[in-house]
Structure 1
Amino acid sequence: MVGGCTGRPWGPLTPLRESCSTRTRTVCIVQKRDTRTMYAMKYMNKQVCIERDEVRNVFRELQIMQELEHTFLVNLWYSFQDEEDMFMVVDLLLGGDLRYHLQQSTRFQEEAVRLYLCELSLALDYLQQRHIIHRDIKPDNILLDEHGHAHITDFNIATVVKEGEQASSMAGTKPYMAPEMFRSYVEGAPRYSSAVDWWSLGVTAYELLRGWRPYEIHSSTTIDEILQILDTKSVHYSSCWSQEMASLLRKLLCLKPKNRWASLARVQGSPLLADVNWEAVLQKKVTPSFLPNKGQLNCDPTFELEEMILEAKPLHKKKKRLAKSKMREGSKESSHSQENEHLQEFLENVRQEFIVFNRDKKCKGAPASEDAERDDAVASPPADGAGSPPDDPEAGTRKNGCGSVCHVVSKRT
């Protein structure tokens, strides 16, 4: 359907339907033709990412995700590019994110949250073993599959720290960020560890149970105000909750990281989870008590129709658009402005540095080949980098290639 930068069609991936879009990312449902497996495909406009200084985050996410594969993560399967966009093909989860369900006035029962705590703790332990700090655990970044199992997504502000070291940069969504992240920013020390993700897990679990967060912190709240709130306000634990649930949340929401429960072993020792069959959880043999509605779209469709009609560069017209663009470039090459030359330079850098990935080849142990268009990219994990908290929703072989493996089914965010 779409021509790649080599002029060849994508090959095995087909579009079905279109849904939603963020500021820089659009998501399609795609299907791999040989296996009929469905995936989600994110595509990000290169020029928009350059203008918003988000290319580094995209590359960081790709570098991290190509090294990961876990039952309770949204796993990367393929990445490729063309002249306009960068593409990431990931697991398709149709149950919606937990933010959506909260906005639908869903109040999760303890049984549901208990299983989420188990599944997400296994995922955080997997990341912890690989020295990865996600830094943005929140309902928006937890997706449910159609059976109701929880998965962590969105690694674009995650960081990898060397063994024995800690992170220091400011990154996350304010209401879910641990106290030590703010203190590190204000005081310059101490740094923080993966314990921040366990704090965020505690905030998320609390919100799922109660419908609001343990502290009145918003994206507009200043850091000084946040520190004052954390130092002066105490968390109220509902009398409707079991003592075991309240006890575990207190351990996760401990202000001092050295006293916080921040490991799978500690969580497994909780009375709330004492009788859990962890192997059964890992194999998804424990049935979730909350089942997403299969008869409806589990995302907000408010802007979907407008996006489908008004999108300036719709995916299904890309092949024709790119051909016209090349003709214009050939006839107007001498008239490029200095600004456009700079943009073209940036775009060329993105093209050269983009990380192409194919998990099928990685799983088969196929060696890298300079002649193959979709060889696995080899890239070392990124070190901790500076970053600012995103808005609260209120809430190395690197090759240029785009022979994809799926066809587009639908578009959503």
Structure 2
Amino acid sequence: MPFVWRLCSGFSVTACVPRSGLVDGIAWSKLVSKKLSAQGNSSLARTHTHTCHRVRPAEALMTPTRHQLACPICVTDRFVCFVFPVTFDHFQILRAIGKGSFGKVCIVQKRDTEKMYAMKYMNKQQCIERDEVRNVFRELEILQEIEHVFLVNLWYSFQDEEDMFMVVDLLLGGDLRYHLQQNVHFNEDAVKLYLCEMTLALDYLQSQHIIHRDIKPDNILLDEQGHAHLTDFNVATIIKDGERATALAGTKPYMAPEIFQSFVSGGVGYAFEVDWWSLGVTVFEVLRGWRPYEIHASNSVESLMQLFSTVSVQYNSTWPKDLVHLMRKLLTVNPEHRFSSLSHMQTAPYLSEINWDAVYEKKIEAGFVPNKGRLHCDPTFELEEMILESRPLHKKKKRLAKNRSREASKDSQSENDYLQECLEVTTNQTLCLETNQNILMLNLCGMLF
């Protein structure tokens, strides 16, 4: 099973066990060595291996080596800390809030901590049929390695017989697409903050060699205070220093020209600059209500190449000159001349007065704060899950229990059938032996008389 270990900083050393008290046989190769602070708290940053966990209370760890699911995750000269896998049963399903080609999303509550999360789940069979297994595992691989204040971060992942699950941060402010569809008018200050927050997110991803490849209003979620968070790494990729990506990936209206160019002519490929183009398209759309280029999914790649070379972007005449200058830098067709880093953005006159530390610490008040009295998602998602879904998530536990019982019954029946066959063979062999013995007796009697 693909899992994710996650350790958060600051759990108590009382949740650890003296190394001297451990029994033999621990799989020490699985240990991740970390340093525990002298004050009695671990200085562990988040750690990933291959399964999910929570740190159990001290009383549950008195004899952790007797627990078949316990696994040591960090070790020092004196202490070993244990974690335990998380499964679907650890969460209470509350309601569905979204869906897409990747699967569905629902709000869940972890039963022991009562903390709320978003749970993204994908049907295994559908992933296989749509040839999306590689994307799912790539997304999981990426999410295991990253954490940032302006990303939607992974907490747990696991699977069962039907689905694969990713449990991530819950952001209740809705995505920018939803608010655009609700005719929300975002003022310039609100969008400027989104731009700065996404700039920091992209700068972080670039430091991790990650190209997101699908930045758009649908994938920017707001928290309850109105701050932006980037989500959905389904088509993201990792490139090493000097490498270039070549795949045609993303959503057409937000894809940079060099992605299409690479597909058409097999050129040198593309790199991190494509995300900054997508950010420019997104900012333009959120400010104006429509995109800078009229592009649809049905447009051919060849027609798009012609479009970029012949059509000029029309900027709003009421926009400040510094804003227009920045947008031109983001929407430059030639990636070599495009703004594509935090340092580039910091040189823009439009952002010259930004306190980037304050942005990172979320100390700048958002220009748009979602209404906390409502759930910012399409209510039909919940109706579809309850009424139309043939295998609703909230009935999964009972459904899987029935399936497992049925399988166990089949196994039991198979074993009974096998035993019955053995009994019949034994009976036949016994009858055959008795017949042979009778014949032998008759022959002996004939010889005597």
Same fold (TM over 0.5): yes
CA distance in structure 2 between the partners assigned to 1:38 and 1:263 by the alignment: 34
- 1:81-92 aligned at under 5 Å gives the runs 81-92=159-170
Aligned partner of 2:100 in structure 1 is 22
* Contact kept in structure 2, 1:20 and 1:301, CA below 8 Å: no
CA distance in structure 2 between the partners assigned to 1:176 and 1:262 by the alignment: 15
Aligned partner of 1:151 in structure 2 is 229
Counterpart code for 2:368 = F
For residues 161-197 of structure 1, give each alpha carbon's deviation from its aligned partner in whole angstroms, at most 9, with x where no partner exists: 0111111111010000000000000010021010000
* Contact kept in structure 2, 1:41 and 1:87, CA below 8 Å: yes
**Count of equivalent residues:** 331
CA distance in structure 2 between the partners assigned to 1:77 and 1:143 by the alignment: 17
Q: What is the SS of the residue equivalent to 1:258?
A: helix
CA distance in structure 1 between the partners assigned to 2:250 and 2:244 by the alignment: 16
Aligned partner of 1:170 in structure 2 is 248
Q: Answer with 50-59 or 30-39: which moved more.
A: 30-39
Aligned partner of 1:307 in structure 2 is 385
1:201 and 2:256 are equivalent in the alignment: no
Q: What is the SS of the residue equivalent to 2:337?
A: coil
* Contact kept in structure 2, 1:29 and 1:40, CA below 8 Å: yes
Q: What is the SS of the residue equivalent to 2:277?
A: helix
- 1:285-304 aligned at under 5 Å gives the runs 285-304=363-382
Counterpart code for 2:376 = N
Q: Which runs of 5+ in 2 are unaligned?
A: 1-68, 70-85, 412-449
CA distance in structure 1 between the partners assigned to 2:303 and 2:410 by the alignment: 54
* Contact kept in structure 2, 1:27 and 1:41, CA below 8 Å: yes
Aligned partner of 2:320 in structure 1 is 242
Query: Which structure is richer in relative contact order (CA contacts within 8 A, separation 6 or more)?
Result: 1
| TM-aligned CA deviation for residue 31 of structure 1 | 2.1
Query: 325, 329, 353: which is aligned to 1:251?
Result: 329
Aligned partner of 2:8 in structure 1 is none
Q: What is the SS of the residue equivalent to 1:290?
A: coil
- 1:318-397 aligned at under 5 Å gives the runs 318-329=396-407
Q: What is the SS of the residue equivalent to 2:343?
A: helix
Q: Which runs of 5+ in 1 are unaligned?
A: 1-5, 334-413
Query: 30, 35, 42: which is aligned to 2:120?
Result: 42
> Which structure has the larger Rg?
2
CA distance in structure 1 between the partners assigned to 2:312 and 2:216 by the alignment: 21
The structure where helix makes up a greater share of residues is 2
Q: Answer with 67-76 or 17-26: which moved more.
A: 17-26
CA distance in structure 2 between the partners assigned to 1:303 and 1:29 by the alignment: 12
* Contact kept in structure 2, 1:19 and 1:305, CA below 8 Å: no
* Contact kept in structure 2, 1:24 and 1:48, CA below 8 Å: no
* Contact kept in structure 2, 1:13 and 1:33, CA below 8 Å: yes
Q: What is the SS of the residue equivalent to 1:136?
A: coil
- 1:208-247 aligned at under 5 Å gives the runs 208-247=286-325
Identity of matched residues, %: 65
Aligned partner of 1:62 in structure 2 is 140
* Contact kept in structure 1, 2:244 and 2:268, CA below 8 Å: no
Counterpart code for 2:109 = Q
Q: Answer with 29-38 or 193-202: which moved more.
A: 29-38
Aligned partner of 1:282 in structure 2 is 360
* Contact kept in structure 2, 1:133 and 1:197, CA below 8 Å: yes
Query: 112, 137, 144: which is aligned to 2:215?
Result: 137
Structure 1's 229 and 205: CA in aligned 2 closer, same or farther, altered over 3 A? same
CA distance in structure 2 between the partners assigned to 1:211 and 1:313 by the alignment: 38
Counterpart code for 1:239 = S
For residues 254-273 of structure 1, give each alpha carbon's deviation from its aligned partner in whole angstroms, at most 9, with x where no partner exists: 00000000000000111111
Query: 339, 346, 350: which is aligned to 1:272?
Result: 350
- Calculate the aligned-residue CA RMSD, in Å: 2.3
Q: What is the SS of the residue equivalent to 2:145?
A: coil
Q: Answer with 171-180 or 22-31: which moved more.
A: 22-31
State TM-score, norm by structure 1: 0.76
* Contact kept in structure 1, 2:97 and 2:378, CA below 8 Å: no
| TM-aligned CA deviation for residue 146 of structure 1 | 0.8
CA distance in structure 2 between the partners assigned to 1:330 and 1:48 by the alignment: 26
| TM-aligned CA deviation for residue 30 of structure 1 | 1.7
For residues 235-286 of structure 1, give each alpha carbon's deviation from its aligned partner in whole angstroms, at most 9, with x where no partner exists: 0111111111111000000000000000000001111110111001000010
